[in-house]
Amino acid sequence: MDFLRPLTWDEALAYKAGRPEATPIQGGTDVMVEINLDKGRPAALLDLNPISELTGWSAEGRTVRVGAGVTYSRLIGELGSLLPGLAQAARTVGSPQIRNRGTVAGNLGAASPAGDSHPPLLASGAVVEAESARGRRMIPIGEFYTGVKRNALAPDELIRAVHVPAATGPQYFSKIGTRNAMVIAVCSFAIALHPGERRIGTGIGSAAPTPRRAVAAEEFLAGELDWDGRSALDPGVARRFGELVAEAASPIDDVRGRADYRLHSLSVMARRALGWAWKDYAGRGSA
Amino acid sequence: MRVHIDVNGERLAADDVWEGESLLYVLRERLGLPGAKNACEQGECGSCTVYLDGLPVCACLVAAGQAEGREVVTVEGLASGDDLDQGLDEVQRAFVEAGAVQCGFCTPGLIVQAHSLIESTPQVPEDADIREALAGNLCRCTGYEKIIDAVRLAATRKAQNKAAQKKAPR
Ligand SMILES: Cc1cc2nc3c(=O)[nH]c(=O)nc-3n(C[C@H](O)[C@H](O)[C@H](O)COP(=O)(O)OP(=O)(O)OC[C@H]3O[C@@H](n4cnc5c(N)ncnc54)[C@H](O)[C@@H]3O)c2cc1C
Ligand code: FES
Ligand code: FES
């Protein structure tokens, strides 16, 4: 095994171009588990830690560009108001020790259907900034997940940053697990209200081969909500929204939960998350 | 490969490090610091918790090469000097006094994690905050109550020490 230690981004791209089989390692919270448990030995590790530019984030217009090295702890501490949905999801990841190392870019690299970043990234319409020595590519999040633990990155590409639109309305993340901490989601759900465009964003986790949106549920709800009057949510609409979210999923039975339980809990989470979001929106009054 | 790490304030070098090796392995097997424990090697138990550049992390999930040139503090580094009674950190002392140690396997990780919580909280943390901070540290023996007692005790003493220092005339 080789240990590659680029000090700059360009060096990292050059290494990856020369050794496309090298495994990038950021927080290591997925990569090291695999190595420790001997589930596969990378030909080489490409350590991205020394590249300090990756640990920064910046607000560019209405979008926040989150560098690939920004940890969950920093997201929680620094981006809670700009990216509330993603920060809420970050709060549920692992333990403090895991959050001090783990990153959204690593979550995207692993592309587990259960990854907690994915639902809020889908709900807010994020874009992945991927780059190789050949050039830069902006991948809309909906096109990023291509299969169970597979993503749209080419072998020579690295994630440089994730561009996440700053919240323009309430956002919520909800996750089912067997305890309150340190759990991989049985299933999860994120909602984002985009009042300016009269649009709803959703993201479903751990209930299909890839994280995905519930498009029919989004469209239904956007048309039913009283965006201007901000009147109380119709319980029938909320229930129907929950049903449509569950219909968008295609879960399996596995060690963490059964498919029918996932469908049921998804519809409940969707209904509740909508309730919290609408309460915030209605409570804020016309701005 | 050779890896240089600042461990507990001292620049150390480890030789013949395998590229896939963890920081935990280097600390325990190559640098003679067996304080951080190896129990799960998958980030689940927290017994390997050490400070990396000031933040508590699972040493089993840091590749040794990633620690090159960085600062690591282990449970050994929290105590000062050779006098075990005088030199212990308040957190270490509190774990002994509160009876928070049974087999002791989880203790080093808990102490580093609790130390970080206390150092980063100005007030004495609420029990809910203590539980949250220790959510990634598993103990098979104590049932956690005495661990939480110990953290509360250490936090209270550290707060008192700080207040006393402020009051003391220069
Ligand atoms: C105890 C424990 C609890 C966990 N709990 C949760 C949880 O609750 N929710 C959750 O979602 N996850 C959880 N995880 C999984 C893991 O922490 C997350 O997936 C995390 O986001 C990974 O980030 P990382 O920086 O550590 O990734 P790494 O392990 O460094 O990398 C992960 C993958 O991404 C690739 N990669 C990393 N950076 C880049 C880049 N810049 N460009 C291209 N590819 C890249 C790597 O090659 C690898 O395939 C847990 C893990 C552990 C050990
Ligand atoms: S040994 Fe590292 S978390 Fe268990
Ligand atoms: S004292 Fe034995 S594991 Fe905690």
- In the predicted model, is pLDDT for residue B125 greater than 80? yes
Task: Give the end of a domain, one of B60, B77, B94.
Answer: B77
A97/B contact by beta carbon, under 8 A: yes
Residue type, B84: L
Q: Which atom of ligand 1 is nearest to the CA of A92?
A: 8
Residue type, B111: I
Q: Measuring CA to CA, which residue among A82, A95, A93, A138 is closest to residue A118? A: A93
Stretch A57-83: mean pLDDT: 97
Stretch B142-154: mean pLDDT: 97
pLDDT score, position B162: 86
Residue B23: domain span = 3-77
Confidence band, pLDDT 50/70/90 cuts, at residue B84: low
- In the predicted model, is pLDDT for residue A284 greater than 90? no
Distance, in Å, from the CA atom of B45 to the CA atom of A225, rounded to the nearest integer, reads 45
Average pLDDT, chain B: 95
Stretch A39-51: mean pLDDT: 96
Please name which ligand lies nearest the alpha carbon of B146.
3
Whether residue B65 sits in one domain with residue B8? yes
Cβ-defined contact of A42 to B20 (cutoff 8 Å) = yes
Alpha-carbon distance B59 to nearest alpha carbon in chain A (angstroms): 9
Q: Measuring CA to CA, which residue among A72, A213, A206, A75 is closest to residue A144? A: A213
Distance, in Å, from the CA atom of B163 to the CA atom of B161, rounded to the nearest integer, reads 5
Kindly report the CATH number that applies to the domain delimited by A54-165.
3.30.465.10
Q: pLDDT tens digit string along A226-257?
A: 999 999 999 999 999 999 999 999 999 988 88
- In the predicted model, is pLDDT for residue A287 greater than 70? no
3-state secondary structure of A26: coil
Using a 6 Å cutoff on CB, does residue A113 contact ligand 1? Answer: no
pTM of the model: 0.97
Q: Measuring CA to CA, which residue among B40, B30, B65 is closest to residue A1? A: B65
Q: Measuring CA to CA, which residue among B133, B141, B1 is closest to residue A98? A: B133
Whether residue B37 sits in one domain with residue B92? no
Whether residue B91 sits in one domain with residue B154? yes
Which of A97, A100, A101, A180 has the most B C-beta neighbours within 10 Å, making it the best mutation to test the interface with B? A97
Confidence band, pLDDT 50/70/90 cuts, at residue B170: low
pLDDT score, position A285: 59
Q: pLDDT tens digit string along A130-169?
A: 999 999 999 999 999 999 999 999 999 999 999 999 999 9
Q: pLDDT tens digit string along B3-19?
A: 999 999 999 999 999 99
pLDDT score, position A88: 98
pLDDT score, position A182: 84
Whether residue B155 sits in one domain with residue B87? yes
Q: pLDDT tens digit string along B22-47?
A: 999 999 999 999 999 999 999 999 99
> Which residues of chain B neighbour A27 with C-beta distances below 8 Å?
61
pLDDT score, position B167: 81
Whether residue B62 sits in one domain with residue B84? no
Whether residue B71 sits in one domain with residue B16? yes
Q: Which residue out of B44, B113, B137 has the highest number of ligand 1 atoms within 8 Å of its CB and is therefore the one to mutate?
A: B44
Confidence band, pLDDT 50/70/90 cuts, at residue A40: confident
Confidence band, pLDDT 50/70/90 cuts, at residue B80: confident
pLDDT score, position B93: 95
The CATH number covering residue B51 comes to 3.10.20.30
The residues, any chain, with a CB within 8 Å of residue B123's CB and separated by 6 or more, are B159
For ligand 3, atom 2: residue with the closest CA: B103
The CATH number covering residue B101 comes to 1.10.150.120
Alpha-carbon distance A151 to nearest alpha carbon in chain B (angstroms): 23
Q: pLDDT tens digit string along A175-228?
A: 999 887 888 999 999 999 999 999 999 999 999 999 999 999 999 999 999 999
pLDDT score, position A265: 96
| Cα A286 to chain centroid, rounded | 30
**Number of domains composing chain B:** 2
Name the residue ranges covered by the structural domains of chain A: 54-165, 171-286
Task: Give the end of a domain, one of B57, B77, B97.
Answer: B77
Whether residue B87 sits in one domain with residue B160? yes
Whether residue B56 sits in one domain with residue B90? no
- Does CATH number 3.30.390.50 belong to domain A171-286? yes
Q: Which atom of ligand 1 is nearest to the CA of A110?
A: 33
A31 Cα: distance to centroid of ligand 3 (angstroms) = 28
Please name which ligand lies nearest the alpha carbon of A94.
1
A76 Cα: distance to centroid of ligand 1 (angstroms) = 16
Q: pLDDT tens digit string along A80-128?
A: 999 999 999 999 999 999 999 999 999 999 999 999 999 999 999 999 9
Average pLDDT, chain A: 96
- In the predicted model, is pLDDT for residue A56 greater than 80? yes
